[in-house]
Structure formats: C-alpha cells, structure tokens
Structure 1
Amino acid sequence: MALIGSDDTAAVLEELRRWEDKDDPEHFHQYEVDAEGRLKRLFWADADSRISSVRCSDGVVVIDTVFRTNRYGAAFVPFLGMNHHRRPVLLGCGVLADQSPGSHFWLLRAFMMSTCQEKPKSVITDGGDAVVQAVQTVADVGRQLLACGVRGAMTQFRGQPQDGEQSGVALQDVREEGALGRRLRRFVRDKFFLGLARDQSTECLCLSSGLRSSFSEDMTLLALLRRADFRCNYMRAQQTELDEEADKSRVELTTEHEYLEEDATRSFTPANFAIVLEEIKALDDFKIVDTLSSSSGDKVYTLDLHGELFNVLQSDDRADRCDGVVFKCSCRKMERDGLPCRHILHVLRHERASTIPKCEMEALGRQVFDLALRDANEFEEIKGFLQDWLQERRGHCPAWALRLYE
C-alpha cells in the first residue's frame, strides 16, 4: 500500500475545494483518508468531464489502472472516452493507495456517481481481476468488457462464456493470425468498441491523449492533479479546434458514388468520414445474389464476394425512404464501430438511396414526425409530450447536466 503524506493530501483536498468553490461549482470529487489524514482513495471530475461522460454513456470507456507516476507509487487511474473526432477525452481521474478489490469498487462507484449513474455501453481496461469484477458489478456492462494485460507477456479478453468458450482467454499476442487471434475477433465482432479492440490495449488511447508523457515518478500528488487538469483542458481545446475545422472543411469527392459520399461528408466528422470513405470505395466488390422479402416489408439481401456471403437486413416497408430505414449486416461493423459497412452501402446503392442511415432513434423520430405533420392536432400532441418529457428530465438533472440541452 502506498503511503501518501498527510500534508500532500491536505494540499490536494484544498485545491479541489478551491476549484469547486471558485472555478467550477459543478466539480465533483470524493475521497477517503486514514486515521493519520493520509489519502487512501480519490476521484474527481469537472463539469465538462461529467458532461462528456454522459455523452459517452452509449459509447466506450477506457480505464487505465497501471500508472505509477508520483513519488508515492500510488495508482493514477484515468477514465477516457472517445469523442466524435475519434480523439480521447478525459472523463475523470482517480488515485488509489492500494489495488484492493474494495478500492476499485469504490472508484467505479465514484465514477458512476459523477455521471448520474449513466452506464457506458462498453469498457476496456488493462486492470486485473479486481478491476474486472468492479466493472462487471458496478457498471454492469456484461459481455461488453475487454480486459487487456498489455504490460505483461500475456493479454486477456473477458466476457460471459459463449458457445462453450471460456470466459477469459490468455493470448501471447492478440494480433497473431492463429486460433487465439481468431477467437478474439469472434469475441469482439458484435460488440461496440469503436475500433479500439483492434488496437488491443488501453495504451493507444492514453498515448494519443498525452497522459503517458505528462507525468513523472517524482511528482507530488498536487502536481499530478494540476497536470491532469492541464491535459484535460488541452484535449478540450483540441476538440474545439477540430469542430471549427470540420465546420469549414470542404471535401473533394473522389468516387463514382457521389450521392453517398456527399452525404457522408455532411454526416460524419473528417476522422469518421475517412473510415466510411474506404467502405464506399469497396462497395462495388460485391454482388447481390439473393433477396428475400417478408410480409412486414423487411428485406434480406445476400451479398457475395468470391464465395463469402454477407446478409443485410433492411427493416422498413418503405423502400423508397432509405433515410428512415434501419439496416443491420451480418458483418456487425455497425454494432462494433458505429459506422456503416460496405455491404450496407452496396444495398443503399442498389436501392438508389441518396443518404446514409443514421441511428435507430433518429430514424424512429423522423418517422414519428413525418406522420405527425399530416395532422396538426397530432403534431401538437406529440410536441407537447416531448416538451413535458424534456422539462421533467431537466427537473431531475443537476445544473452541470443541463448544459447537455444547450
């Protein structure tokens, strides 16, 4: 157990109270000290980090547990998410004097309290059994958990057993093309990790955030706190710059599918557009070999590439309204990365669609409003319901969360 000096502990707590009292009234922090006033556990997140956590609640949270970048050797635990530019965003930070299961349970509970109990869809961590148990119990992500021991000789991925497989598998190298590598790809193929699972570790996101190079082993806890705050603000400034660049950017169309490519430039940030563009370029590689239609209007397209078959479900009975259709593909890229695959894009081209489908909630909302616009009374009824729901939601939100509605 790391022994953090009482003087350093007092300085850190005073700094956190100052931030809360003067700079950030919605700043969140929790801590525990021992009988001598030495820090045992600490978590903090400012208002912007808390907002980012809620916005990432349907995304991926990366928990890095192996920093020892302070003079006490205590664990510095950053919680990281990924923004719409596929860049890291700091969601909160923790310091643990020990790596006991109780400390990790405490830290996960503090993080969840900072987010008003909003649970992430998926978690990636390089922690051991104590972290895994805390994530599964407190965050309740079930099978959407990838645990990577990146600094040892072994790497693990874990989830609930599937088709007779073990819940955890140790890998010498998860990038290898052997049986273990295939099992990892099978494990993550239908799970939402935003492509981070392919990088196989938390380290890639921490490196790109600048956290790895920002700390030193002789730092006081107060210096660590201020450096983490500096990196957090720097990442936000980068996001603001990327937002401004995205608003001004004009992309030259390069494929024959200008209608889909143009819609992609409007729908995605440059980082995501670059990924979708590769899918657009590859959509001509396939051909539709079979189409099945159901009585409800759903269609299943079977696509072939040199004998490899993919099935795309188009779920809507209005085939000429592809902007309101929900698509699912057997390759599971949409579920895994949140971006459309080349198979769905091939079907869109076949259907002569001019737009790329958005999320199911957006598609559902558009259909509801399309129907409501046909009747003024229905429109007013639905609008009133949504206004009442939003007002009630705001009434239960703390002040920092109200900024989500701005």
Structure 2
Amino acid sequence: MVLHRSDQPPPQSPSSCIPDPGTPIVPPVQDMEASRVLLAPHLGMEFATLDEAWLYWRNYGGSVGFGVRKHAGKKRKDQVYTSYKYVCQSEGLREKDKRDHLTKIPRAETRTNCQVFLKVKLHRDCKQYKVVSYETNHNHQLQKPEACHLIPSQREVSEIARIDILLAESSGIRPRETHELLSRQAGGVRSIGYTIDDLNNCLRDKRREAMQYGAAVAITKYFAKRASENSFFQHFEDITENQEIANILWMDGKMIAAYARFGDVVIFDTTFGTNKEKWGFGTFVGFNHFREIVIFGAALMCDQSTNSFEWVFTKFLKAHGGKRPITIFTDQETAIGNTLEQVMPDTKHGLCVWHIYQNCQKRFMALKKRGIDISGEFSKCMFNYEDGDDFEEAIKELVAKLEDEEDLRWIKFIYGCKEKWAYCFMKNVYTLGIRSTQASESFNSTLKRYLNCKLDVNRFVEQFERVVDGKSEKEIKSEYDMRRKTPRMGLNVPILCETEKLYTPKIFELFQREYELSGSAYIEAIDGNTFLVGMCDISSKECSGKSRQVVWNRDDQSIACSCKKFERVGILCCHALKVLDREDIKIIPPRYILKRWTQDAKDESIVDREGRVVIEDAMLDARNRHAQMMRELAPTCDMVCHDEGQSQFVINALRSIREKVEEIYGNPSSRTYDGGEDKENRQPENSLRLKKKDGDKRSKRKKAWNENLSRRKKSNGRCISSSQPLIR
C-alpha cells in the first residue's frame, strides 16, 4: 500500500496518483467550469465545498468501478467541518453477531477492509478544501463499466424522477412497468440512475411518510388537502368518544352536481370487496342522461350496523342539501331497510332482485334435480304477474310444493318484503327501468380494475379518484359523440325527427324501439277518450300479450297507459304512441319529455347547500394553464438539450423564475391544510385512529354460488343477465 500525505513530497510517478492511459475520465462536477476535467485524485486538489468534494469522489468511484461512502469528519465550534474522510464502500469488516450460529444461509460478505480513501482539509488562508492524503489501491475486484450503474453510490432517485414515479403509481401503473417506461425515456437502464429496488423504496417511503401518524390522520389530511384545492369537495368523519373514526363519507363538486340533476333514482351498493382495514365500502350511484353510471358519493364503514347506515344516509342528505331520492335500491340488508324508514320515509325502497334470485337458485337446487323447479316458479312471481291476486295465488301454489321448514321459513321471509321486489308492486314505482342493483354490478367490475383489498384506506380513497375521473371522462366522450354522430332513424316521421334532437342517443334508441313496436299494435276505441291497445305478432298475424288501456285527454293533451311505463322509465310506451298516432299528434306533449333524458340536461347551473354555484371541476382552469406552460417549455428544452452551454442557460433562467415565484407564493412544501368538516368535534389529529372492524374479517364480498361456476354450467335463460339492467 502506498500512502500519500501533504507533509511529504509527492512521488515522481506514483502509480496510485497518476492515472494510466486507460483510466476513465471522471465526469465533471456539477456547477463547476465545463472545461474542467477530473482525473484520478492527487495531492493539493481543491474544492470549494464538501459537497463538491463528495460529488468528485462519487463520480470518480463510478468511473473506476467502486462504490463510495462518507466516513467521518471533524468540526469546529461553529459547526464547520475542518476535515472530512471519504472511503470505499468495502472499507471495514462486518461485526460479529452472537446470533451468527443460528443463521442457516448467511449473507455474502460485502466488506473487505479496503483501505482506499480520500481525505480533505480546510485551509484557512484560501478557505478551500484540499486533498491532504489518499489511497487508490483496492484489495477487491472493481466493477466493469457496464455494471457501474448498479453501484449504490451511483444510484439516486432525483426529485423529478420521484414526481414521475408517484404520478405513475397514482395512475395504477405497476412499479416494474414504470421503471421500464422511464428507462426507455432516459435512454436505457444504465442512464436512468436508479434500479427497480430504488423505485420500490421510493414508493415505500412515500407510503410510510403518509402513514407515519396512522391511517386516520393520513385520510383526514388527504381530505383536507382536497378541500383546500376544491372548495366544493365535502367530507365527513364519524369520530367516536374514543377518538376513533368509525365511518367516512365524501364527494366532490362533480358528484354534487350529478345528484342535483340525476339523483331521482339512487343505487346504494355495499357488495364490493373492502380494503386492508376490512372496512365496508359503499357507493351511491345512478344513471345520467346517457343512461350511464354516475357517482353521487362514496362511504367507508367499519361495520354494517344500523348506526353506521344511519350516519351515512344522514350525512349524504346533508351534503346534497336535504334532497331525497324518489327511489333507492339496496341489497337485502335488514339494517339498511330499518334505517331508510327513519331517514328517508318518503323514498321508495327497492331490493336487488338479482341477488334474491341467486339465493333462490342456490336454496332450491336440490329440488330442481328431483324435477321440482321452484326457482323457475319463483322467477315468475318476481317478473310475470302484474295483478296482485295472481301473484298471491302463485305464491300459494309454490308454498304447497315445499316441505322443508327452512325452505318455508325463507319463502316467508322473502314474502314479507314483497312490495320491494315483486313486479306487481313495483310496476307503479319510478325506477328508470332498474329492477335491481345489478346496474352497479358493472360499476363493481370497473372498481376491480383500480381497487383491491390490499390497499390501505388512504391509497384506497386515492385510487377511487381514478374511477371517478374515468366515469367523468366517459361522460365527456358521450357528449362528444352525441354532437359528432347522428343516430339512424328507421322511419322519417315528425315525431322521431323531433325526439332525435331532444333525447340523448341512448334514450332516443329506446324511444324509437317503442315507436317501431307501435306500428304492429292494434287499437280499439272504447269511448271518446279511452282506447284498448294490444300487440300483434307479425309472423302469426295473431294478437299476443295483454291489451292495455290508454286514456287520452284532448283538452290538456294528457295521456296515461295502464302499463305505467312512462311512470317507471320516463319515456312513452308503444301503446301511448299508438293512440297519439291515431289522434294525428305529430309532436310529443312537452310534459312527457323528461329533462333528465334530454341533451341539455346539464345546461342549468347547480347551487350547493351553501348557496354557491357549483363548479364541477374547480381545477380545470389550473390544469389547462399548467398544460399550456408545459407546451411552451417543451420545445425550448428540445432545442437546447444537446448543447451543454445553452442547457445551463435555460436551467439558470428557470431557477431565477422559480425564485421570483417563491418570493410571491412562498415554498409549496411549507403550506399546511386545515381540518375540513366537523372541525369543532375534532381533537389534535395525531390522536385519531381508525376503529377496528368487529365480526367478519373477510376482505372480499361473499360471492353468489353460481358466480364461481363456468359459463356453460350457469343457469339457462331464466337467469337474469348481469351485463345489462332490466328495462321494464
């Protein structure tokens, strides 16, 4: 080993000081003269700061093929370092551990007691750090150039890279795919500056930082941040006396505006799988004017008790200014039914017929194998009978075929809530054609692409925002298509020409189908205002189906059909259209054009519970300005990136601009956020925690028995399709 000190004359040709002709040239130190070239260390080398010395040592190690570390230094009383020593990463030896004999597969050694180092000392006269001693002979193999990017000291996730990584993670891109994408963008794996492990560590540190005070504090801070960015964002936390968050409800400006326009029929679904804390997840959804799923709010509940549902429904109505839906569909939960009777007494409560039918199939499968098709007969009771007496008679016949006490008890239980699922009782209810929460089953399939039960509450809520944005973007796409494309009309008649301009394409398609059906209907006048309308089978030329009675009032141009389709769905039925055609009415009376189904359903401004006009996307202008600035900056960067001098000029200009902006707005990292809603009931944030879920600990909903069967084993046509809502 050859040791060099400043008090000894330097050797004439020290092999450890003067690089060989093949020694790689070390990259220049950042912010130093571009013309300065760094070679192997030598005595008397000067550095303005310790950071500059460390950067040189790190770059030198990367060019030669070894990792480096900071060892130790000496300070003055004013905390200024007077000397510092940098070493090779293989310096020293691993300490002995008394538990080594218990290790079955010991880790490989990484320390070889390498003596390579660089020591600098502060000279008072020039106030520069000078190299006073060093050693460059290693006692271990050096890395090949193609592997130097894997050396720990050569890897670093910069702040810009961290922003890209977090942005990719929030977009649902997996870490390995993110690393591959950013590597290609940087010019290869060796150019990106960090490995997949560094990327995962960056994500881990971000989550640890967010959760350092617990999930409860993290979620309240996230909501407070959202509220500071968008004044129309509303959130509620149910805080117990023990400073535990038991339930959470939140919604943004888009959801508030959507509920004001389309909140006449609501689906509250709690069947989606939960999160890492095993909390239940409930969504309030409905149909917009395109008959697409629109979100009204979301809730996280520690349990599915009556108290939890009461709190959620009460806060939901408060957030939406007390407006109650006309109809709400839920799962068959006793706690939900009891709560709705108290919180929304005037709202019609409907049950999910899809889930009821699945339970029926499962319960009576054994009887079906014996030739007794109870599930088929029960399906008729659900959908086929319009008259209450016919329904009661069918139920009696079904019960007569049952012998098992458990089966009879189940039928009796279901029969007790018949008004919530039987067609004969629901035919007069305003449902938009929905007979179950199966409309939200497709929404659940969307959720599965973004959410999973391994996410903590904070990340769960963040990822749910992607779902909200996706639904919003889908609605915008439908708006674009509506103005870009014109639906095909089967017949060029005035009534279709008019409704094509009024209705959205999906609703016009449903209306046009009703008009086409009216062409094959027969009509018979009973008296001056009453007509009997029935359908004819064109192939057999015979009447089919039940005749409907239609009452038409010429004075006020009102029409009512006994099928009650307009009262349920909001569009006129084929029977009513047949009467209008007979009466030579070419334009639909305005009262029968529901605004919620029209193209201008969103034209009116919405006012929230505080009397403010709701801005659905409060960050839209800010995002547009950000995009404009990026578009202006990108061409400049493309022009100068290959010229080091011009690149430094642009960088300095941007730094100068940033300093001036920070003088006006301050440092963004120093901004804080208030606590949002219900601040008067909130104790210091750090004392909050999430309430632990009691009882069932499963993290996913219990699937229906036939959801796990293959398609070929699923039930025949009697089974309700979950892909499309039933329109009847």
After TM superposition, is the score higher than 0.5?
Answer: yes
Q: In 2, Cα distance between the equivalents of 1:263 and 1:213?
A: 40
Which of 496, 507, 517 matches 1:261? 496
Q: How does 1:152-191 map to 2 (within 5 A)?
A: 153-154=358-359, 177-182=379-384, 183=391, 184-191=422-429
Bigger drift between 106-115 and 279-288 goes to 279-288
Q: Letter of the aligned partner of 1:211 in structure 2? A: L
The aligned residue for residue 530 of structure 2 is 300
**1:265, distance to aligned residue in structure 2 (A):** 1.0
Q: In 2, Cα distance between the equivalents of 1:218 and 1:150?
A: 26
Shift in CA distance, 122/34, structure 1 to aligned 2, threshold 3 Å: same
Shift in CA distance, 186/241, structure 1 to aligned 2, threshold 3 Å: same
Task: Tell me the SS of whatever aligns to 1:289.
Answer: strand
Q: In 2, Cα distance between the equivalents of 1:248 and 1:71?
A: 44
Q: In 2, Cα distance between the equivalents of 1:36 and 1:177?
A: 48
Q: In 2, Cα distance between the equivalents of 1:139 and 1:125?
A: 13
Bigger drift between 28-37 and 223-232 goes to 28-37
Q: In 2, Cα distance between the equivalents of 1:396 and 1:216?
A: 34
Instruction: Kindly indicate whether the alpha-carbon contact (under 8 Å) linking 1:61 and 1:81 is maintained by their aligned counterparts in 2.
Output: yes
Which of 415, 420, 443 matches 1:206? 443
The aligned residue for residue 571 of structure 2 is 339
The aligned residue for residue 287 of structure 2 is 82
Which of 278, 299, 303 matches 2:513? 278
Shift in CA distance, 109/396, structure 1 to aligned 2, threshold 3 Å: closer
1:106 aligns with 2:106: no
Q: How does 1:38-57 map to 2 (within 5 A)?
A: 38-57=244-263
Identity of aligned residues (%): 17
Q: In 1, Cα distance between the equivalents of 2:352 and 2:333?
A: 8
1:7 aligns with 2:232: no
**1:215, distance to aligned residue in structure 2 (A):** 1.2
**1:244, distance to aligned residue in structure 2 (A):** 2.0
1:242 aligns with 2:478: yes
The aligned residue for residue 381 of structure 1 is none
Q: In 2, Cα distance between the equivalents of 1:326 and 1:351?
A: 12
Q: In 1, Cα distance between the equivalents of 2:611 and 2:469?
A: 22
Deviation digits for residues 72-109 of structure 1 (CA, Å, limit 9, x no counterpart): 11001110011000000110000100111011000000
Task: Tell me the SS of whatever aligns to 1:99.
Answer: coil
Instruction: Kindly indicate whether the alpha-carbon contact (under 8 Å) linking 1:76 and 1:94 is maintained by their aligned counterparts in 2.
Output: yes
Instruction: Kindly indicate whether the alpha-carbon contact (under 8 Å) linking 1:154 and 1:173 is maintained by their aligned counterparts in 2.
Output: no
Task: Tell me the SS of whatever aligns to 1:117.
Answer: coil
Q: In 1, Cα distance between the equivalents of 2:427 and 2:581?
A: 25
Q: In 1, Cα distance between the equivalents of 2:448 and 2:248?
A: 20
Deviation digits for residues 90-135 of structure 1 (CA, Å, limit 9, x no counterpart): 1000010011101100000011011101111110111501111222
Instruction: Kindly indicate whether the alpha-carbon contact (under 8 Å) linking 2:265 and 2:432 is maintained by their aligned counterparts in 1.
Output: yes
1:30 aligns with 2:260: no
**1:237, distance to aligned residue in structure 2 (A):** 1.4
1:232 aligns with 2:437: no
Deviation digits for residues 206-237 of structure 1 (CA, Å, limit 9, x no counterpart): 246x1243210101101111121221121111
Q: In 2, Cα distance between the equivalents of 1:105 and 1:277?
A: 42
Shift in CA distance, 6/119, structure 1 to aligned 2, threshold 3 Å: farther
Task: Tell me the SS of whatever aligns to 2:467.
Answer: helix
Bigger drift between 347-356 and 119-128 goes to 347-356
Which of 392, 398, 402 matches 2:611? 398
Q: How does 1:63-74 map to 2 (within 5 A)?
A: 63-74=268-279
Calculate the aligned-residue CA RMSD, in Å: 3.2
**1:358, distance to aligned residue in structure 2 (A):** 3.7
**1:147, distance to aligned residue in structure 2 (A):** 4.4
Q: In 1, Cα distance between the equivalents of 2:488 and 2:608?
A: 46
Q: In 2, Cα distance between the equivalents of 1:91 and 1:394?
A: 15
1:287 aligns with 2:509: no
The aligned residue for residue 196 of structure 1 is 434
The aligned residue for residue 16 of structure 1 is 223
**1:338, distance to aligned residue in structure 2 (A):** 0.9
Instruction: Kindly indicate whether the alpha-carbon contact (under 8 Å) linking 1:86 and 1:271 is maintained by their aligned counterparts in 2.
Output: yes
Q: In 2, Cα distance between the equivalents of 1:226 and 1:173?
A: 42
Give the TM-score normalised by structure 2. Answer: 0.43
Instruction: Kindly indicate whether the alpha-carbon contact (under 8 Å) linking 1:282 and 1:342 is maintained by their aligned counterparts in 2.
Output: yes
Shift in CA distance, 181/353, structure 1 to aligned 2, threshold 3 Å: closer
**1:6, distance to aligned residue in structure 2 (A):** 6.7
Task: Tell me the SS of whatever aligns to 2:355.
Answer: coil
Instruction: Kindly indicate whether the alpha-carbon contact (under 8 Å) linking 1:26 and 1:400 is maintained by their aligned counterparts in 2.
Output: no
The aligned residue for residue 251 of structure 1 is 487
Which of 57, 60, 74 matches 2:265? 60
1:134 aligns with 2:330: no
Q: Letter of the aligned partner of 1:333 in structure 2? A: K
Instruction: Kindly indicate whether the alpha-carbon contact (under 8 Å) linking 2:571 and 2:592 is maintained by their aligned counterparts in 1.
Output: no
**1:64, distance to aligned residue in structure 2 (A):** 0.6
Deviation digits for residues 219-269 of structure 1 (CA, Å, limit 9, x no counterpart): 1101111121221121111111211211232233213x6222212211211
Instruction: Kindly indicate whether the alpha-carbon contact (under 8 Å) linking 1:291 and 1:300 is maintained by their aligned counterparts in 2.
Output: yes
Deviation digits for residues 257-300 of structure 1 (CA, Å, limit 9, x no counterpart): 6222212211211111111111111102222212434xxxxx22
- Size of the aligned set, in residue pairs, is 342
Shift in CA distance, 262/207, structure 1 to aligned 2, threshold 3 Å: farther
Q: Letter of the aligned partner of 2:238 in structure 1? A: E
Instruction: Kindly indicate whether the alpha-carbon contact (under 8 Å) linking 2:247 and 2:308 is maintained by their aligned counterparts in 1.
Output: yes
The aligned residue for residue 153 of structure 2 is none
**1:314, distance to aligned residue in structure 2 (A):** 2.3
Deviation digits for residues 123-157 of structure 1 (CA, Å, limit 9, x no counterpart): 011150111122232122444433457289537xx
Shift in CA distance, 200/113, structure 1 to aligned 2, threshold 3 Å: closer
Deviation digits for residues 150-181 of structure 1 (CA, Å, limit 9, x no counterpart): 289537xxxxxxxxxxxxxxxx8699643344
Give the TM-score normalised by structure 1. Answer: 0.75
Shift in CA distance, 400/78, structure 1 to aligned 2, threshold 3 Å: farther
Shift in CA distance, 339/176, structure 1 to aligned 2, threshold 3 Å: farther
The aligned residue for residue 581 of structure 2 is 349
Find the structure with the greater CA-based Rg.
Answer: 2
Q: In 2, Cα distance between the equivalents of 1:362 and 1:189?
A: 19
Shift in CA distance, 175/91, structure 1 to aligned 2, threshold 3 Å: farther
